[in-house]
Structure 1
Amino acid sequence: MTTTILKPETDAQLVDAVRWALSADEPLELLGQGTRRGLGRPVRTAHALDLSGLSGVLAYEPEELVLTARAGTPMAEITALLGERAQHLAFEPPDGGTLGGLIACGLAGPRRIAAGSARDHTLGIAGVSGRGERYKGGGKVVKNVTGYDLPKLMAGSFGTLTAFTELTVKVLPAPEDTATLLLFGLDDAAAVGVLDQALRSPYDVSGAAHLPDGLAARSVVPTVARAGGAVTLVRLEGFGPSVAARVAALRADLRADAVLDAAESRAVWRELRDAACLGGVTAPPSPTPLSPAPDAEGWAGGNANKLWKLSVPPASGPSVVSAIRHALGPAGAAVEAFYDWGGGLVWLLAPPESATAIRRAVGTQGHATLIRASQEVRATVEVFQPLPDPLMALTRRVKSSFDPMGILNPGRLYPGV
């Protein structure tokens, strides 16, 4: 629907753009590289606000473990810069896109169980609210909050509250070595039990996942693909001697069948992060910000099934998947799922008509988010977990505080939000 684009290259120009939208009562779709445009409900506006012109690293202090960059800075540039000093963003974000888009969507990978989420690593933000006002929140040290913690509020807000101009994030040393223990042939419930045992151990596990029979065979890592059945994965990271000692001890405790080296480990955990065995999470960027948001059916190999991300109590993951399959009857045979975060995160590929069954199975014990589907589906299905009335009222009040006219990414999260 977008027909025109505004591309500010300075903070002042961004303020002018937002104030113009306010005066003209013209909502704006916020964009970076368009990589994550397919996440959330589709935004239907006549104008786009392209923030990719606000780019560049402003400050990087490796000794202080802090980096500040403009919101439109490509993640590839940031990753390369951190790599030169053997540092990284510890929450294991997906590749591609911009720093602003990453924090706005609150994305994190398998290491979230050990390192926390994107929100936990966001120290400071600066931007322009939907009121056309510039402001800053947080700072450049970890303990900087004396009032409202605005950076954590903005992380995961999907651009509905503020157009970011710059962000400060915490960085950490990248692990010197990585190894992954593999256990073969466990059913889902038994695998989640093993993952729980590993996470409760003293060995600092940084990844705990399970690929059921059929999904493991799709891995690009030969040891996983040729296992001949289900594969349960436990990752250990750190200094070389420490990793070797912990692997030996935990392998004996778990009776693991194999160990992946560093290169194989990194490859398989990238696959898990991106849900590659289910068609992938993040669409390619739009050729231009004016191009339609990527069509899920196009970039997922023509698969009409929808990709969901379920957050549930770890021990409940297998029973939730079983309940969804049962509720769908014969169509339940098409459901595929694997487990991350020790079983607390379920990546689920399900038929288009499964939304009601998924919401019912998750119930009040967790939440379900539709990650990959066409614009038409995302416009009609509740993409994010429906909120209880008190929480929805609070969400609307927060939106009204920062964007009373609803001009920033209207409806991206919920209708009117």
Structure 2
Amino acid sequence: MQPRDENELGEMIASASAPLRIIGGGTRGVACDGEMLSTAAMRGISLYDPGALTIVAAAGTPLAEIETTLAAEGQRLPFEPMDHRGLLGTSGTPTIGGVVAANISGPRRIQSGACRDSLIGVRFVDGRGDALKNGGRVMKNVTGYDLVKLMAGAHGTLGVLSEVAFKVLPDVETSATVVLHGLDDERAVAAMSRALGSPYEVSGAAHDGNRTLLRIEGFAASVAYRAKRLQDLLAEFGEAEILQDTTQIWHDLRDVAALHNKQGDIWRISVKPSDAPQLVAGLGAIQVSYDWGGGLIWALMPQGADLRARMNDVRGHATLLRGVGLARFQPEAGPLAAISAGLRAQFDPRGILNAGLMD
């Protein structure tokens, strides 16, 4: 099923007698039972006000269309959403609704926040087929819930997005990357923490193999000054070089290109940065890549390995993005699981939207 607008979407959900598998462009490997319902035909930018730094688009609008439109006015989405296709071996076209549903955020999250932090409004259809709206630009408003934040990361289990609204930012004039070589994981995390605690406005902090990379963005003179000061600040970690024009490096880090076309399971782990080296040391991973100053770990694991069982006492959240035999999402603790179940019962009382995906 592929509705063309919100009315058709509501009718399809209201008349459904069995579970529905909700997808956008089909790029993130959502796997659950049910008839496929895609929002890909619901597309188009309905409002863009560069002066107000606001854009509103239908959920099926390709992410590339959003980014191209913003770039023409020297603007961007603040949270730098990644493209999962190379990592997961999927095809299709990433959509802005899919970005919101999964709360996708790239390296710039450490500075600009997650997708949900730039999201100012949503329209969606719940499991009854009713259209709801919350946030900016109300059809039916639901008092007591911050639905804008709630829908970001709900993976289509509470409702099917039809429209999203964002606050955007001016694009950066230039960037530079301070690179340290040969640090082990513990020293790399220490260097990234030092940089992120500095006044030099680091917008990317990643460790990929033998490289530790720290991005500075802004006006050219400011970037040059801050990059040099950061280089001096990190002198105890070794001789650092400053690279210019590193856009492709950060695109590759954003999309975890180091793990593309590799055999094994792909895990995404959120953890306190200071715990990351200890966690990785006990995983038995084939290869890892760090982002968000060590707070995000991408791990390539042997097929079928239960990474969660190897986390021991390290507190964190592990998601299986590519692999079989284990739950995709980290099981929730009892009180949190009860809250989640209550929300699903409220918004999807028949349990038909991506049923079982987040259980």
The equivalent position to 2:287 in structure 1, one of 323, 327, 336, is 336
Shift of 1:145: 11
RMSD: 1.7
Does residue 73 of structure 2 align to residue 85 of structure 1? yes
Aligned to 2:108: 111
2:241 corresponds to 1:258: yes
Say if 1:359 and 1:368, in contact at 8 Å, map to a contact too. no
Tell me which residue corresponds to 1:347. Answer: 298
Structure 1's 322 and 31: CA in aligned 2 closer, same or farther, altered over 3 A?
Answer: same
CA–CA separation in structure 2 for the residues paired with 1:362 and 1:139: 43
Asked if residue 206 in structure 1 is aligned to residue 203 in structure 2, the reply is yes
1:240 to 220, 225, 233: 220
Q: Is the 8 A contact 2:132 2:142 kept in 1?
A: no
Distance 1:366 1:111 in 2: 21
Q: Larger helix proportion, structure 1 or 2?
A: 1
Give 1:252 deviation, angstroms: 1.4
Q: CA deviation at 1:363?
A: 4.2
Contact kept? 1:67, 1:170, Cα under 8 Å:
yes
Q: 1:20 aligns with which of 2, 15, 21?
A: 15
Q: C-alpha deviations, 1:57-87, integer Å up to 9, x for none?
A: 0000111111000111111111100000111
Q: Does 1:271 align with 2:252?
A: yes
The equivalences for 1:176-215 within 5 A come to 176-212=173-209
What is the rounded CA distance, in whole Å, between the counterparts of 2:204 and 2:106 in structure 1?
9
The secondary structure found in structure 2 opposite 1:123 is strand
Distance 1:360 1:184 in 2: 29
SS class of match (1:63): helix
Q: Secondary structure at the residue paired with 1:166?
A: strand
1:312/1:362 contact within 8 Å kept = no
SS of the residue aligned with 1:339?
A: strand
Partner of 2:316: 366
Deviation per CA, 1:367-415: give whole Å up to 9, x if none.
1111222xxx1xx30211111111111111100100000111112212x
1:85-130, Cα deviation, whole Å (9 max, x unpaired): 1111111102451111110011101111111001111110001100
- Asked if the contact 1:15–1:134 (Cα under 8 Å) also holds between the matched residues in 2, the reply is yes
Q: In 2, Cα distance between the equivalents of 1:363 and 1:145?
A: 39
- Equivalent position to 1:316, from 262, 275, 278: 275
- Secondary structure of 1:413's partner? coil
Give the equivalent residue in structure 1 for 2:326: 381
Q: CA deviation at 1:146?
A: 8.0
CA positional deviation for 1:147? 4.4
CA deviation vs aligned residue, 1:319-339 (integer Å, no higher than 9, x gap): 1011223xxxxxxxx521121
Is the CA contact (8 Å cut-off) linking 2:133 and 2:142 kept in structure 1?
Answer: no
Task: For 1:13, give the aligned amino acid.
Answer: E
Task: Report SS of the residue matched to 2:305.
Answer: helix
Partner-residue secondary structure (3-state), 1:352: coil
Do 1:57 and 1:68's aligned partners in 2 also have CA atoms closer than 8 Å? yes
Aligned counterparts, 1:31-180, within 5 A: 31-36=23-28, 38-39=29-30, 42-45=31-34, 47-95=35-83, 96-140=93-137, 147-180=144-177
Give the Å deviation of 1:254: 1.2
Match of 2:6 in 1: 11
> Hey, what's the Cα distance between the residues in 2 that align with 1:358 and 1:128?
34
Determine the structure 1 residue equivalent to 2:339. 394
Q: For the Cα contact (< 8 Å) 1:121–1:169, is it kept in 2?
A: yes
User: Mind listing any 5+ residue stretches in structure 2 that lack a counterpart?
Assistant: 84-92
Q: Would the aligned equivalents of 2:202 and 2:217 in 1 still touch at CA under 8 Å?
A: yes
Preserved CA contact (<8 Å) 2:328 2:357: no
Q: Percent identity?
A: 43
User: In structure 1, what residue type is equivalent to 2:331?
Assistant: P
TM-score (norm 2): 0.92
Cα drift, residue 358 of structure 1: 3.4
Gaps of 5+ in 1: 1-5, 213-229, 280-299, 326-333
Cα offset for 1:317?
Answer: 0.6
Q: Offset at 1:34?
A: 1.1
- CA gap 1:148/1:84 in 2 versus in 1, 3 angstroms: same
Alpha-carbon distance in 2 for matches of 1:171, 1:362:
40
The one-letter amino acid of 2:276's match is G
Q: Indicate if the aligned counterparts of 2:177 and 2:215 stay in contact, CA closer than 8 A.
A: yes
Partner Cα distance (1:115, 1:147) in 2: 27
Q: Give the distance between the partners of 1:406 and 1:64, measured in 2 at CA.
A: 39
Separation in 2 of the partners of 1:358 and 1:126? 35
SS of corresponding position for 1:324: coil
Structure 1 stretch 246-255 or stretch 63-72: which is displaced more?
A: 246-255
Which amino acid is the alignment partner of residue 222 of structure 2?
A: S
- Alpha-carbon contact 2:157-2:354 (below 8 Å) kept: yes
Measured after TM superposition, the shift of residue 365 of structure 1 is 1.6
